[in-house]
Structure 1
Amino acid sequence: MKPTIVPSIAILALTLLLSGCVMNRVNPEPQTIVLREAAGAALRVEIDPGAQWSSRMQAGPFIFNVLPQFAIWTEDDAGRLVETLYVTGADFRGMRHAEKNEKQAEFFAQILPFWSARVTSSGAPLPSKANPYPDAITSATPTGPTTLVTALTGSVGAAAAVTVYLEINKSGDSNSTFRADNDPAGQPSLIYAGHLGAGATRLELIGHGGRLPDEPAVYTDLSGFDTALELVASIVVTLE
């Protein structure tokens, strides 16, 4: 009897099924992303990821590293958006994020509701294929400790009353409180803030952006949150 010859493609498929194939690898090394040269006041944002910054999700033989989405922006003392300094994955070039590709602006409104509400209230559009954001304020989500280098616009100086916000969220982080059946987005976004002054300012956690049906706002009750609280270890903003 002749031995059975298994086609090489079947062997490859079996290997992938048993071992898994990581589709997007992460680099844990520190990096610096220069977004905007300092025509005005230079700003550095140092983000130290927490234990839950990256987590793995498996779909069949494929393994994906799931990273958070976040936005950084400034507001004046009246709570009006001054400018968006940074938002992840808003250029829509070579987009591999299926949900973002499908929902576009709606994706940002759901995952980063507080920032999105500030943007739309200012009359500016949210990111979409028809309105991609420029490289000066966007990049792929950093995979390790990151320093973002940017600059404030000329309309806001160091002496102005300015608050820096960071809103962060990671899809699929459901838990016993924010269950997949009643909170399909998982745990709501978390919001960090700090008043910008000369030198370094550590952004502190001030609340969350609300569940999907909620009006976008800062909700201070953080009961029921767990892994979302470990997305970041620290956020330090330095005005130079």
Structure 2
Amino acid sequence: MKISIITVCYNSAKTIQDCIQSVVNQSYPDVEYILIDGQSTDNTLEIVHSFGNKISQVISEQDKGMYDAINKGIKLATGDIIGILNSDDMYVDELVLSEVVQKMIATNADALYADLNYVDQMDTNKVIRYWKSGEYKKGSFLSGWMPPHPTFFIKKEFYSQYGGYSLDLVSAADYELMLRMIHKNSAKMAYLPRVIVNMRVGGMSNSSLSNRLRANKEDRKAWDMNGLTPRSFTLLFKPLRKLIQYVKR
């Protein structure tokens, strides 16, 4: 099976090399790597182009934000499976994509997710928070569960059938997409029980209290957009699960 990895970036010169290197180092032989840049004004593109033909496609043009850029990458992707790796994230070793594909084939899964480490921005060997996803069970989203988005892989046919990322959401478009694919449309899931991504701390939805409150409102909107009704505690449990990740491993 061919796998397409999409990275979107804008002025990401401080982190983009680590991200790209982690993709091009993968041992899996059939990887399409697509990079969508929002017309960076720093030396991001200089770093990108230094990798030459190790990156399958590079597009640099204005966009309507991160999720619009991801949607562009999805339209270009020719792989059977698609994964998204942000410009400040990296795969932990060269076996990640091989294990993803092997697990999806072995379980006949439509989608796969795994565990993730939040790491210090400067010292990526320093783990700040560990996200152990655990096994998905039907209805898990009702209990505030969601998988880490950078570890989420899904067959391209699901994007073709159910659409891409919503541009009506600022920070919860990834949550809405996974809610739509997994909870609403019953993608068959596989869990790879190990850390596959190191993600630098400082995500948009968690960067301030006001952003966290806005994210909570967007989480509710994600359910409404899909004609779904959460339980009374669903949206409270979702951020509480994150607090547990700081102390539990």
TM superposition score normalised by structure 2: 0.29
Please identify which structure carries the higher helix content.
2
TM superposition score normalised by structure 1: 0.29
Please identify which structure carries the higher strand content.
1
**Structure with greater contact order relative to length (CA < 8 Å, sep ≥ 6):** 1
Greater C-alpha Rg:
1
